[in-house]
Amino acid sequence: MILVQVNFGFPPEMMGDSLSENAKPLAESINTESGFVSKIWIENIQTEESGGIYLFKDLDSAQKYVEMHTKRVEAMGAKNVTCKYFNVNEPLSKINHGI
């Protein structure tokens, strides 16, 4: 399993309740992506940062999603998109209810 951390600068007026209301179709579409397992949405209005923590079944699916998603969030106003990929240690993560 692959964990993907995506962070970017995002206008604070588009976060919080506004994002929760306006991004429902986006959230639903993410569920249909190849290899997708789960996402935690993250935001910090004070530092104007947003992003997500994702789990994918494999690296290829994760990379394809990030390539597409980077273009999508940039079109929405995101700046300085960064991405990190990590392998998940599944046996230890299961002990801590991570997966």
pLDDT in tens, 9-32: 999 999 999 999 999 999 999 999
pLDDT bracket for residue 86 (50, 70, 90): very high
Q: How far is CA 57 from CA 4, 18, 19, 22, 38, in A?
A: 11, 30, 27, 28, 10
Which tens digits make up the pLDDT trace of 27-77? Answer: 999 999 999 999 999 999 999 999 999 999 999 999 999 999 999 999 989
Q: How far apart are alpha carbons 45 and 22 in whole angstroms?
A: 16
pTM score, whole prediction: 0.91
Query: Based on the structure, what is the number of domains in the chain?
Result: 1
Quick one: pLDDT at residue 31? Answer: 97
Range of the domain at 81: 2-95
- Return the structure tokens found at 9: 């600068």
- Return the structure tokens found at 62: 């994760």
Q: How far apart are alpha carbons 76 and 99 in whole angstroms?
A: 31
CATH of the domain at 59: 3.30.70.100
